[in-house]
Structure 1
């Protein structure tokens, strides 16, 4: 027996009452199916009426009739959501593992690592809830759900949302603990602990508001409860994102403010500042998550409307895990990269720097007057001659002392392999720098071992 097409008379009684009450406001008649299907105002009015008065089963039956009459979409995000969730959390897990390996190699495990690992373990809760809800139909439209599946899906979404707030808080705390391990001045520590207190209090308030968004709490997932109420879920979502962005700004400004007081070159400051800024790049993902909150509200089609915000929330957490792990991963990479590769890169950078300096000196010399260049050349020649004579005298003195102590004769200018200072590749100026490294040395014997 082939299934027949549904009609308006297949709508449950509660749905028909809401439809009849909503039609006068839109100007559509009960027989005008095209007007009913094309009216957005009717859709919103009917949804509000059914959420307030009808059971979940009535809502499900009405939506199925609407989908059949209006040829609504049967598209599904279920498989995409499962794949997306698996990939995102796998990447976050790998970055945290690399972070812990880097910290172990550098022997700098601390409280910030404990916070990160705790956040990662806690992330398994929303991961399992999302995957389980996707198997039940999360990512499908309401009219494609099986009977009795909406309530467990909404319960899983609620658990994921609450856990998301806690994980985000742990990631912020871990970054602040990392700062405390880097800056040890009393002033910074006082400021950091004040920021830590603000973050903890702020997230506790957000967590409390999230848990008790509905009264009773079960009203969030049990839409058959009609004697309760919920706060504006969408406004709460915007509040959570706004507080996360404020915390990111504080975590970014805190180290950069004290970094300005350090005595180091500007290029070094920029590099260190960028390292600190990496940990707060999660605020970009938070900002990109804001548009998805437009569908995050008490909806008549929550299994479809909550998918975008779920995806962006997962991406935000993954980006946070990645960013706070990058500084430690850099240490791991520096340990893994072969010394030959690092030497090659350093030599290339050195050659480039020397070439630039030579070109700059050549240009500046060409701009000088001839008489100045002549005087400088004479001075350089005299300096070189004096350096050469000084080198020869030091070499001769060293040879005589070694001859007296060992009985071996060393001819002036002969290479002595037993003395680490004498190397065939060393230039007089190089050895001079080695010998005079200790400016307080009184004698040659204090500098060169006999």
Structure 2
């Protein structure tokens, strides 16, 4: 059957007047193909219902019929060594380059640009809030900067890879660009891990800055260690998935031994969702200790929980991971997982910034109103307790029972037996409790128990002015 079809194709090409045209020169194209690719071509043309007696129709059919081209490409990849695959790819590309092909490059550019601009705006607002109110940055802010720089680098690689052909079917990509495109896609995977881990570390460090409870700090330390180990581990897996390493993007290395990239992707996605859930649940015990109404506790918790909402995009992304590493049409089949990966890390950066933007929201009338006030007080903080007695043993109300810093030992009813020094009151602003939801000195109100205000000493005031929180 195959010899007959070959003779039919040859006779058609020899006797068809259009055979000399660039698109109709099927004979020269067929003869130039490697021997291992010739049966793939004939079988694909037959299965695609192409008119073998019309050379122009053969060219048009083979170049515009996506299932036909996919079957031909799969057959060549399965039966030909890399050198012959590349030779066949050049012939196919030159024959079909003038035809219109389906492309998803526009989707990639649009998604990448939007997911680059929006996080950049939120990062800028975050740093504006930090410098405006805290006059400096802390570790959670620096982690977010690492995430944003990595995000910019990842998007830059994606745009270059898309310009090289990513977003088109592999057989429509110029064969000389394939290796560079795969190399950039590999670099993007590294950026993805760094962004994901940095954004989560930023949230954990934000918790550290706000909640001083000892057991909670232990849990946060464990979370930090887990995130760092997870990040380093998956970077090693991604970069050393093949031996030699260059086999990840250089398909001419045919005797390479590689791990399952699909398995790595599934493990990474599952661990990312697990981490999001843990970070989502971490603040609940601390928030439940607050002397607030249930409604305010929920509002405070949601302020933290919004930082972990990226897990929703992580779950959606898993829907497309099954094709990752299991396809012969990588530049097309991996578009969905790439788009959702971009969206996932972008949402992670934006959500991790939202708790830190609360001071800016408080300046907008109607945002986070408290006690019927519209937009909060002008200062956004509680007023320090007045010194109405000259007796140094006059009790001063403390905002936290047993809070360290001022050295005061709180009594059972929340009063301190030690009166702060006069110097501590100069220019000092009292630290409000969660009862005053209009606070704008830091990301969230800091008091965890007791009454609304206390007068911090000079060292604590310096920390507060820097936005460090209760304790470093």
Indicate which of 317, 322, 325 corresponds to 1:289. 317
Indicate which of 60, 64, 87 corresponds to 1:58. 87
CA distance in 1, matches of 2:313, 2:198: 17
1:17-36 Cα distance to aligned partner (Å, 9 max, x none): 2664899xxxx698555399
More helix by share: 1
Moved more, 278-287 or 120-129: 120-129
TM-superposed deviation, 1:233: 1.5
2:114 is matched with 87
Q: Does 1:213 align with 2:241?
A: yes
TM-superposed deviation, 1:129: 0.7
1:228 is matched with 256
CA distance in 1, matches of 2:69, 2:101: 19
Aligned residues: 342
After superposition, the Cα gap between the structure-2 partners of 1:299 and 1:171, relative to the gap in structure 1 and judged at 3 Å, is: same
1:149-188 Cα distance to aligned partner (Å, 9 max, x none): 1111111111111111111111111110001011101111
Q: Does 1:259 align with 2:305?
A: no
Structure 1 unpaired stretches of 5+: 350-450
Matched residue of 1:322: which SS?
helix
CA distance in 1, matches of 2:82, 2:367: 74
TM-score (normalizing by structure 2): 0.64
1:306-326 Cα distance to aligned partner (Å, 9 max, x none): 221111111111101110111
1:431 is matched with none
After superposition, the Cα gap between the structure-2 partners of 1:6 and 1:87, relative to the gap in structure 1 and judged at 3 Å, is: farther
Moved more, 214-223 or 90-99: 214-223
TM-superposed deviation, 1:255: 1.0
CA distance in 2, matches of 1:129, 1:29: 35
| Contact kept in structure 2, 1:12 and 1:61, CA below 8 Å | no
2:21 is matched with 2
1:327-356 Cα distance to aligned partner (Å, 9 max, x none): 222211212x2599969974799xxxxxxx
| Contact kept in structure 1, 2:362 and 2:375, CA below 8 Å | no
| Contact kept in structure 1, 2:30 and 2:38, CA below 8 Å | no
TM-superposed deviation, 1:258: 3.1
Q: CA RMSD in A?
A: 3.5
1:98 is matched with 125
CA distance in 1, matches of 2:31, 2:266: 36
CA distance in 1, matches of 2:220, 2:366: 38
CA distance in 2, matches of 1:161, 1:343: 44
CA distance in 2, matches of 1:332, 1:348: 11
Structure 2 unpaired stretches of 5+: 1-19, 51-61, 377-472
TM-superposed deviation, 1:110: 1.5
1:78 is matched with 105
After superposition, the Cα gap between the structure-2 partners of 1:21 and 1:153, relative to the gap in structure 1 and judged at 3 Å, is: closer
1:17 is matched with 36
| Contact kept in structure 1, 2:234 and 2:268, CA below 8 Å | yes
Matched residue of 2:322: which SS?
helix
After superposition, the Cα gap between the structure-2 partners of 1:211 and 1:59, relative to the gap in structure 1 and judged at 3 Å, is: farther
1:36-75 Cα distance to aligned partner (Å, 9 max, x none): 986899568615515765555235247549979xx99711
| Contact kept in structure 1, 2:44 and 2:69, CA below 8 Å | no
Indicate which of 351, 358, 381 corresponds to 1:330. 358
CA distance in 2, matches of 1:316, 1:44: 32
TM-score (normalizing by structure 1): 0.67
CA distance in 2, matches of 1:339, 1:261: 27
TM-superposed deviation, 1:124: 2.0
CA distance in 2, matches of 1:131, 1:320: 21
1:49 is matched with 78
After superposition, the Cα gap between the structure-2 partners of 1:12 and 1:231, relative to the gap in structure 1 and judged at 3 Å, is: farther
2:212 is matched with 184
